Amino acid sequence: MDMIVTPTGKLNGEIQALSSKNYTTRYLLVSALAEGTSTILYPAHSEDGEAMRRCIRDLGAIVEEDEEKIVITGFGRHPRPTKELDVGNAGAVLRFIMSVAALLPEVHFLNSYPASLGKRPHDDLIVALESMGVKIEHQNGRLPMTIKGGNPRGGKIQVSGSVSSQFLSSLLFITPLLDEDSEIEVLHDLKSKVVIGQTLEVLAQAGIVIEASEDLMFFRIPGKQKYKAQTYTVQGDYPGSAAILAAAAVTESDVVVHRLMEDSKQGERAVVDVLRAMNVPLTHKDGIVHVQGNGRLKAGEFDGDEFTDGVLAMVAAAVFAEGTSRFYNVENLRYKECDRITDYLTELRKAGARVEEKRDEIIVHGRPEGVEGGVEIDAHYDHRVIMALTIVGLRSAQPIRIKDAHHVAKSYPIYFDHLKSLGAQVEWTE
């Protein structure tokens, strides 16, 4: 399904932020790793959430759900042997479940999205798991993959953090269940470091004890721990809401988004400060972000690694800012659902944006007068490219057509419903 985005000058209204993808995947996982029955209130309903539900179910968790909650009876240290798992297009789900699969004799991971997740590298986690005695067959570090484990060893483990934080998170979830105590040393750099804060928060809520160095480059994890069954409440999602807030910023708007906690550990919380720095009139109080956009934005320079899943939306806002913006420290955007630097900028340029790339930077020469639009966009299977190009379409001279925009459902199936309820002219077409 394609989406036609017709220029829309004004947005008005209130929405409830959808539930956080990253907390939903984590709560599902720790509930599966517990032996008792856990409840997750307000889980995210999206393809990635569904991928994690499917995997833990296939691995033996009992999952019952209604509109507002999921009740999960976990398998603890003993997942059920299963031949094959389908993680859809969800990077975090694949990486987290790879370590769980290491507890089993043989699990095959399908390659359902060869043009997206199928291109993403997992070598750093593969090397770490191999050092723990796990055998892995893979295609040059990519899917399809077969993991042959059984009884992975703890002890001293090293993992590179220079491509993704998900490899470290994965090891932090599994090492507490191993017989030995473990020490994890992060090599090189740690990208998306803030996300590790979410992993540690969820582990602590699940009763797991981990000692972390202040710089998050070294961890001590006692073995033989047990995950406790708990009740978890999922908070609102900043990465998805970043796109709504950016849409409000580039239009004349009066838009209120609820459920965005000020003290959230989601790095993308920073998009509120980014928009503020771009002179967007907004307030953030009691979990409510209120944007009263006037369409005028000022360029700025930002460390994108602090809000990795919010960068594309902020770049889309910067397309209409006065001056040149720079988003630096973003190389790992190249290893996401598509190359979120080269592929994304190609599509932005088609729509009329003036953008440049470096290996680890996006540079935007703002066009406050607006862009031409009138083009067809290839979203490269990437939900965040779909959301970001929609923002650009709202302020183009001519409508833009986003091909295969249904892939927005990876994280935000009701994105276009939300935008429509705010007055955006967005229509599905075959």
Ligand X SMILES: O=C(O)C1=C[C@@H](OP(=O)(O)O)[C@@H](O)[C@H](O)C1
What residues are annotated to the active site?
Answer: 309
Q: Which residue is closest to ligand X by CB?
A: 164
151 is in an annotated binding site: no
User: Of ligand X, ligand PEP, none, which one sits near residue 49, judging by CB under 5 to 8 A according to partner kind?
Assistant: none
119 is in an annotated binding site: no
Residue pointed to by tokens 């986003």: 402
**Of the candidates 356, 354, 395, 404, which has an alpha carbon nearest to the alpha carbon of residue 373?**
395
Helix, strand or coil for residue 145? strand
Q: At its nearest, how many Å lie between ligand X and the CB of residue 393? A: 23
Q: At its nearest, how many Å lie between ligand PEP and the CB of residue 308? A: 8
99 is in an annotated binding site: no
- DSSP string for residues in 147-177: EE-SS---EEEEEEESS-THHHHHHHHHGGG
Cα of first residue to Cα of last residue in the chain, in angstroms, is 5
Q: At its nearest, how many Å lie between ligand X and the CB of residue 398? A: 32
Q: At its nearest, how many Å lie between ligand PEP and the CB of residue 243? A: 11
334 is in an annotated binding site: no
- Asked if residue 91 binds ligand PEP (CB under 6 A), the reply is yes
Residue pointed to by tokens 């075959």: 430
Q: At its nearest, how many Å lie between ligand PEP and the CB of residue 260? A: 17
Binding site for ligand X (CB under 6 A): 22, 25, 92, 164-166, 169, 191-192, 195, 308-309, 332
Q: Which residue type does 209 have?
A: V
349, with CB counted inside 10 A (0-12, 13-18, 19+), is middle
CA dist 134 → 110, 129, 168, 187, 223 (Å):
19, 6, 16, 20, 18
Is the CB of 225 or the CB of 308 nearer to ligand X? 308
57 is in an annotated binding site: no
Helix, strand or coil for residue 249? helix
What is the greatest pairwise CA distance in the chain? 62
* 146 within 8 A of 106, measured Cβ to Cβ: yes
Helices 21-32 and 47-58: crossing angle, nearest 10°?
A: 10
77 is in an annotated binding site: no
The two tokens of residue 109 are 């991971």
Q: Which residue type does 196 have?
A: I
User: Of ligand X, ligand PEP, none, which one sits near residue 122, judging by CB under 5 to 8 A according to partner kind?
Assistant: none
Q: Is the peptide bond before 413 cis (omega within 30 degrees of 0)?
A: no
User: Of ligand PEP, ligand X, none, which one sits near residue 384, judging by CB under 5 to 8 A according to partner kind?
Assistant: ligand PEP
User: Of ligand X, ligand PEP, none, which one sits near residue 24, judging by CB under 5 to 8 A according to partner kind?
Assistant: none
Is the CB of 94 or the CB of 299 nearer to ligand PEP? 94
Is the CB of 380 or the CB of 384 nearer to ligand PEP? 384
305, with CB counted inside 10 A (0-12, 13-18, 19+), is buried
38 is in an annotated binding site: no
* 336 within 8 A of 362, measured Cβ to Cβ: no
- How many CB atoms within 10 Å of residue 59? 23
User: Of ligand X, ligand PEP, none, which one sits near residue 169, judging by CB under 5 to 8 A according to partner kind?
Assistant: ligand X
User: Of ligand PEP, ligand X, none, which one sits near residue 15, judging by CB under 5 to 8 A according to partner kind?
Assistant: none
Distance CA 399, CA 376 (A): 9
User: Of ligand PEP, ligand X, none, which one sits near residue 90, judging by CB under 5 to 8 A according to partner kind?
Assistant: ligand PEP
Residues 6+ apart with CB under 8 A from 387: 240, 243, 312, 313, 408, 412, 415
CA dist 320 → 92, 290, 343 (Å):
32, 20, 20
Q: At its nearest, how many Å lie between ligand PEP and the CB of residue 120? A: 8
Q: Which range, of 39-47, 90-98, 133-141, 397-405, touches ligand PEP by CB under 6 A?
A: 90-98
Q: Which of 63, 92, 126, 345 binds ligand PEP (CB under 6 A)?
A: 92
| Residues 408-427 within binding reach of ligand PEP (CB under 6 A) | 411
Q: Which of 336, 406, 407, 418 binds ligand PEP (CB under 6 A)?
A: 336
- Asked if residue 90 binds ligand PEP (CB under 6 A), the reply is yes
Helix, strand or coil for residue 276? helix
Q: Which of 380, 384, 406, 418 binds ligand PEP (CB under 6 A)?
A: 384
Q: At its nearest, how many Å lie between ligand PEP and the CB of residue 139? A: 18
- Asked if residue 17 binds ligand PEP (CB under 6 A), the reply is no
Residue pointed to by tokens 């470096």: 358
> Which residues contribute to the site for ligand PEP (CB under 6 A)?
90-92, 309, 336-337, 384, 411
Return binding residues for 3-phosphoshikimate: 21, 26, 164-166, 192, 309, 332, 336
Return binding residues: 21, 26, 91, 120, 164-166, 192, 309, 332, 336, 340, 384, 410
Return binding residues for phosphoenolpyruvate: 21, 91, 120, 166, 340, 384, 410
